Amino acid sequence: MLKYVGIEEKRVLLSAIGVLTFSAGVLAYLYWGRGVDLPGCVTDVAPYQEASVKRLGDQQVEVKYLAKMWAFEPAEIQVKPGTELLIYLHSADVNHGFHIDGTNVNLMAVPGAVNFAKLKVTREGDYPIVCHEFCGAGHQNMAAVIRVRESAGPDAIIPVPLAQSAAPSGGSQKSKLTPIVAAQAQKLLATKGCIGCHSADGKVLVGPSFQKIFGRAEKLSDGSEISVTEEYLRESILDPNKKIVSGFQPLMPKLPLADDELETLISYLKEQK
Ligand code: CUA
C-alpha cells in the first residue's frame, strides 16, 4: 500500500509515528522508570456529594475531595510525614482545577467524573492546594491545604480552626461563643465555601465582609437601607439573592445546610459586631 504514497506523505507519516513513539516512550519512562503516577479518570468510584477522609492503614489515608464554588472540602487535613494519600476528586458544580503545590499532582475536578492521584508526603510542612481553572467570581479564593506534621493525630482531620481568614476579628470583644461552637462555625465557613467570598478582615471579595457585620447598616441594591439583624442573616443564608447589598452581584448559591448548621453560622455571625 505504501507504494501509492508519495515521498512527502511518507516523510509526514514517519515523523508522526516518530513523535507518537517518542511520547509513549516518555510516558512509559516516567511511569516505570521514575515512579511518577499518571493521574487518571477512575471509573470504579461513583461521583459522590460528600467529601470524606478515611484512614486505610498506618501509612495510608484516603481523601475524597469535593470541589465546589468556591471551596474544596475538606479544606484542611493533617497527616504524618511518610503518609501515602489516595486522592479522589469530584466537582459538585463546574470544572475546577486542583494542583498541590510543590508536587506533580495536578487534576481536574469535573462534574460527573471522579479523578484520582496518589501522593506520598515526605517532608513536614504545608502543601497548599489551589484551583487553577477559572470557575467564577470566587475562583482566586478557592484553596485548601494538606499539613504534614509529626504531631498529626490519627484521624487526619482537623476539627478546629480552619482558614485563618475566618478567624473572628480582633481580640478586644468578648465572644459569647463556646470554643466548640466557634470551631464548628469556622469549619462550616470553610467547608461550605463562605470564606471564598466573604472575608473576616474587612476586605471586599465577591460578597460583603463578615467583619463587624452584625448590626451594620447596609444599603441595598433597591436603594433601601437595612441594619443587619438575626432575621436578615437568616434570610440571606436561606434565600441569598432576595436582598442584595448595593455594589454586589446576586451570586450566592443556596447552601445545603442542616438546621443546626444554620444556627451555628448565625450565632457566629451575631458575634461579628
Ligand atoms: Cu474553582 Cu477556580
pLDDT in tens, 188-230: 887 787 887 898 888 888 899 999 999 999 999 999 999 999 9
Does ligand 1 have an atom closer than 6 angstroms to the CB of 133? Answer: yes
**DSSP string of 211-265, one letter each residue:** TT-TT-EEEBTTS-EEE--HHHHHHHHHSTTSS-BTT--S-PPPP---HHHHHHH
By percentage, how much of the chain surpasses pLDDT 70? Answer: 87
Q: Which atom of ligand 1 is nearest to the CA of 94?
A: 1
Does ligand 1 have an atom closer than 6 angstroms to the CB of 139? Answer: yes
Does ligand 1 have an atom closer than 6 angstroms to the CB of 71? Answer: no
Does ligand 1 have an atom closer than 6 angstroms to the CB of 37? Answer: no
Q: Indicate if the pLDDT at residue 61 is higher than 80.
A: yes
CA of residue 189 to ligand 1 center, whole Å: 17
Q: 70 preceded by cis ω (within 30°)?
A: yes
* Residues 165-178 pLDDT 10s: 344 444 444 567 78
Does ligand 1 have an atom closer than 6 angstroms to the CB of 107? Answer: no
* Residues 71-123 pLDDT 10s: 898 888 999 999 999 999 999 999 999 999 999 999 999 999 999 999 999 99
Which stretch of 63-67, 201-205, 230-234 has the lowest confidence by average pLDDT?
201-205
| All residues at 6 or more sequence positions from 52 whose CB lies less than 8 Å from its CB, including other chains | 62, 63, 64
**DSSP string of 193-222, one letter each residue:** TGGGT--SSS---SS---TT-TT-EEEBTT
Q: Which three cell numbers stand for residue 72?
A: 474544596
Which of 103, 73, 117 minimizes the C-alpha distance to 91? Answer: 73
154-172 average pLDDT score:
48
Cα–Cα distance, 94 to 110 (Å, whole number): 7
First-last CA distance in the chain: 81
Q: Which atom of ligand 1 is nearest to the CA of 134?
A: 2
Q: Rounded mean pLDDT of the chain?
A: 84
- Select the more confidently predicted residue: 7 or 169: 7
HSE of 137, CA atoms in CB hemisphere, 13 A: 15
Cα–Cα distance, 51 to 64 (Å, whole number): 5
Residue nearest to atom 1 of ligand 1 (CA): 96
Q: Which three cell numbers stand for residue 145?
A: 491545604
| CA dihedral (181, 187, 188, 190) positive or negative | positive
CA of residue 98 to ligand 1 center, whole Å: 8
Q: Which atom of ligand 1 is nearest to the CA of 109?
A: 1
Does ligand 1 have an atom closer than 6 angstroms to the CB of 142? Answer: yes
